[in-house]
Amino acid sequence: MPHSSDRIKFWDSPRADAIGADHIEFLKILAQPTWITIKGRDSSRLRTIITLLHGNEPSGLKAMHHYLKSAATPCSNVAFFIASVDAALFPPLLSHRFLPNEKDLNRCFAPPYDDSQGRLAAKLLDLLKAEKPEAVIDIHNTSSHSEPFAVARRDCPEIRKLTSLFTDKLVIITKEMGTVLEQDLLAQPILTVEFGGIMDPKADQLAIEGLERFVSLQQLSEDPMRPLQLLPEPIRLELQEGCSISFASTASAHADVTLPNTLDQLNFARVTGHTTLGWLGNAGMSALKAEDADGTDVLSDLFIDVDGLLVTRTSMTLFMVTTDPHIAKRDCILYLIPASEPDAAAVCT
């Protein structure tokens, strides 16, 4: 079983004919985590774009390859960091979020940095602290179908302006999970942008357009380009440790929870109270937990078991809904904001 390299390759101003015909050739040429720099018209400033923190999320890689092929000159200096190259190259190509024997890199941005993933995360943070980019964008794809959205640690004018370059939806998550967003030591605004599903051509196109806008705009501090839907401090619906989940069109006899394999069509939808979301097994609601930002379990305030059906008690906005059982088990099934929250899904400018 291969291991991820924690050594970063540095590549200054690659020529368009040196990066391969497509993103697959580009990935093979990179061969390891790589920091690419491009000179801009204003060399006193730097903007940074990170991608492939997850090796199966290619929209950012495709957008970088597209931009480098164009041989355009950005407004400021630009650095591209392509992270989980080893996981992306492990066959089948671009199918592994991280290598099977390793950790999720985007859960390793917190001490101790004592394995290869942790060391790579620490080296990236050292680079960002040393280079002081004026803004950092971290490009991902969602594991299921979704409209694009941004995630940040805090809501402030700089973050709103940056978000509006890419999407009209801003999720604020303060829960500490070891993601790259949590580095408060970094003074610059940093934003994760989820452009859509992993095989969605629309997500690829939005990433290309968003990247070009980010590196071309003279000033990032201009007013937001569009009103934003703000989604603060969502509640995470998770599976309890040791429980099982299935995504299907009918209740699975062996799963503690079965959710429809079309549940992702509810991403960013407002569902009303008394809506059935799935089926519960013998363990009933005890197979689930729903923690708010303070870590309080509010499951029974939000859902009720009606003859084995999982039913909402109140209206709520759902997002980051996955239909991937591995993500649902390891991380989270979905995020939600109940309608009773005063700022829920508020629209702001």
Binding site for Zn ion (CB under 5 A): 54, 57, 140
Report the first-to-last Cα separation within the chain, whole angstroms.
49
Q: Supply the minimum distance, in Å, between the C-beta of residue 250 and Zn ion.
A: 30
CB distance 232 to 343 below 8 Å: yes
C-alpha 189/C-alpha 187 separation (Å) is 7
Q: Which residue spans within 216-256 are E strands per DSSP?
A: 228-232, 235-239, 245-248
Closer to Zn ion by Cβ: residue 125 or 243: 125
C-alpha 231/C-alpha 344 separation (Å) is 6
Q: Supply the minimum distance, in Å, between the C-beta of residue 87 and Zn ion.
A: 11
Report the candidate in 150, 14, 154 with the shortest Cα–Cα distance to residue 82: 14
Tell the residue number behind the tokens 């519960």, with chain if given.
Answer: 280
Report the candidate in 298, 164, 272 with the shortest Cα–Cα distance to residue 228: 164
Closer to Zn ion by Cβ: residue 291 or 324: 324
Closer to Zn ion by Cβ: residue 62 or 140: 140
C-alpha 234/C-alpha 166 separation (Å) is 21
Q: Supply the minimum distance, in Å, between the C-beta of residue 266 and Zn ion.
A: 20
**Strand ordering across the sheet containing 288-291:** 270-271, 316-319, 334-338, 235-239, 288-291
Closer to Zn ion by Cβ: residue 54 or 145: 54
In this structure, what DSSP letter does residue 3 have?
-
Q: Supply the minimum distance, in Å, between the C-beta of residue 140 and Zn ion.
A: 3
Closer to Zn ion by Cβ: residue 57 or 102: 57
CB distance 42 to 75 below 8 Å: yes
Q: Supply the minimum distance, in Å, between the C-beta of residue 336 and Zn ion.
A: 20
Closer to Zn ion by Cβ: residue 106 or 312: 106
C-alpha 304/C-alpha 314 separation (Å) is 10
Q: Supply the minimum distance, in Å, between the C-beta of residue 57 and Zn ion.
A: 5
Closer to Zn ion by Cβ: residue 54 or 62: 54
Q: Supply the minimum distance, in Å, between the C-beta of residue 98 and Zn ion.
A: 10
In this structure, what DSSP letter does residue 308 have?
T
Closer to Zn ion by Cβ: residue 66 or 140: 140
DSSP sequence for 105-156: GGG-SSS---SHHHHHHHHHHHHHHHH--SEEEEEEEESS----EEEESS--
Q: Supply the minimum distance, in Å, between the C-beta of residue 314 and Zn ion.
A: 30
Question: 288 - beta bridge partners?
Answer: 239
In this structure, what DSSP letter does residue 286 have?
G
Report the candidate in 255, 259, 260 with the shortest Cα–Cα distance to residue 243: 255
Tell the residue number behind the tokens 């904001």, with chain if given.
Answer: 337
Q: Supply the minimum distance, in Å, between the C-beta of residue 44 and Zn ion.
A: 32
Closer to Zn ion by Cβ: residue 83 or 288: 83
